[in-house]
């Protein structure tokens, strides 16, 4: 996890320093412990390692292909609001179809979110514990097309920044202001301004003559 963050940080410092400055410093360990106690959950080790690198972002920015990671305090706030809204309403706290997911479960950690939607870490017991999925404000949650862990997700982000490719449907670009921006592969503009495919960190090999 720390290696993935180190790779992401290095890429941002080199190619999109304005985006790097949006990343927050490490989380306070005491705040992290209080959050776990309040939520009645123990955070997975990869989330703890991630928070020891960056406590989310200081403001909204499209630094990641999914939702922007948020500070611990915002995780708790989103979790609390969702738990209270779901309550014991079977339409919200129970799956509406066989094999489906509820709208919210108290053992989900909203490590990243915006616009009332979240990227969640599933902490329910079982072989899929720690997997990454999505929670929608107007639909049931889903783990289809997600990642087996936060560590796997951030490693994929680092790999794509360094070597090219996509994270799901999202490809990295640089805006005309030099900020990192994730959009569908093949996009060429953002609000009328050009998008440039993000440079990779691959070393070019020279052929000897």
Q: Is the pLDDT of residue 203 over 90?
A: no
On whether the CB atoms of residues 8 and 22 are closer than 8 A, the answer is no
Angle between helices 29-39 and 72-86 (to 10 degrees): 10
What's the mean pLDDT when you consider all of the chain? 94
Q: How far apart are CA 30 and CA 37, in angstroms?
A: 11
On whether the CB atoms of residues 96 and 140 are closer than 8 A, the answer is yes
Write the CB contacts of 135 (distance below 8 Å, at least 6 apart in sequence).
82, 103, 104, 108, 110, 113, 117, 118, 119, 120, 141
Say what the pLDDT of residue 202 is.
63
In tens, the pLDDT along 135-169 reads 999 999 999 999 999 999 999 999 999 999 999 99
Say what the pLDDT of residue 161 is.
98
Q: Give the long-range contacts of residues 125-128, CB within 8 A, separation 24 or more.
A: none
- Residue 201: DSSP 8-state: -
What are the phi and psi torsion angles at 102 (to 5°)? -75, 175
In tens, the pLDDT along 74-99 reads 999 999 999 999 999 999 999 988 88
Q: Is the pLDDT of residue 102 over 90?
A: yes
In tens, the pLDDT along 25-72 reads 999 999 999 999 999 999 999 999 999 999 999 999 999 999 999 999
The pair of three-digit structure tokens given for residue 27, joined into one six-digit string: 């989380």
């Amino acid at each position: 996890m720390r290696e993935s963050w180190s790779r992401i940080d290095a890429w941002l410092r080199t190619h999109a320093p304005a985006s790097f400055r949006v990343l927050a410093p490490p989380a306070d360990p005491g705040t992290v412990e209080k959050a776990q106690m309040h939520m009645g959950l123990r955070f997975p080790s990869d989330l703890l390692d991630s928070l020891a690198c960056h406590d989310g972002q200081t403001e909204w920015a499209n630094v990641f292909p999914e939702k922007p990671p948020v500070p611990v305090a915002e995780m708790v706030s989103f979790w609390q609001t969702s738990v209270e809204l779901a309550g014991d309403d079977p339409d919200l706290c129970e799956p509406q179809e066989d094999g489906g997911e509820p709208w919210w479960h108290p053992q989900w950690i909203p490590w990243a979110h915006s616009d009332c939607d979240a990227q969640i870490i599933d902490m329910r017991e079982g072989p899929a514990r720690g997997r990454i999925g999505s929670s929608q404000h107007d639909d049931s949650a889903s783990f289809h097309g997600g990642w087996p862990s936060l560590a796997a997700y951030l490693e994929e982000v680092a790999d794509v920044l360094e070597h090219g490719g996509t994270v799901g449907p999202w490809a990295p670009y640089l805006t005309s202001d030099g900020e990192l921006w994730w959009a569908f592969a093949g996009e060429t503009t953002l609000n009328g301004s050009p998008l440039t495919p993000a440079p990779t960190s691959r070393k070019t090999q020279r052929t000897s003559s």
